[in-house]
Amino acid sequence: MSENFKVFIGLLFFLLLTVETAFAYIDPGTVGVIYQVGYLVFYGIVGLFLFFFRPIKNLYLKITGKTLEEKPSEDKEEALSLTDANKENSKDSSTEK
């Protein structure tokens, strides 16, 4: 072993033997920054996954020759019928005046 490595090991051993209690304090601002970075990284990864998932899915469907069957949602049909009913009500109220 080299002389520098022996000195390094000796200093490391000395520092580990002289450990004392550390009176550390983490202020709320630091924790807030850590949370902000954490959720930004999380949502960034989710966004990248969703951004790249659609082209991969389309490529898979193109290669396999499959198509997506779009099922009409009951909520969409209900919403369309409600908007049609609202249009009819507004026409009736405008003709009554």
Number of folded domains in the chain?
1
- Give me the residue label for tokens 């009176």: 23
Per-residue tens of pLDDT for the chain, all 97 residues: 688 899 999 999 888 888 788 777 778 888 899 999 999 999 999 999 888 888 888 888 889 888 766 555 555 565 566 565 556 656 555 555 5
Question: Which residue from 76, 78, 58 is spatially nearest to 67, judged by alpha carbons?
Answer: 58
State which residues form the domain around 91. 30-96
17 domain residue, yes or no = no
38 domain residue, yes or no = yes
Tell me the C-alpha distance between 59 and 65, whole Å.
10
Tell me the C-alpha distance between 71 and 57, whole Å.
18
58 domain residue, yes or no = yes
92 domain residue, yes or no = yes
Tell me the C-alpha distance between 26 and 13, whole Å.
28
4 domain residue, yes or no = no
Q: How much is the pLDDT for 79? A: 59
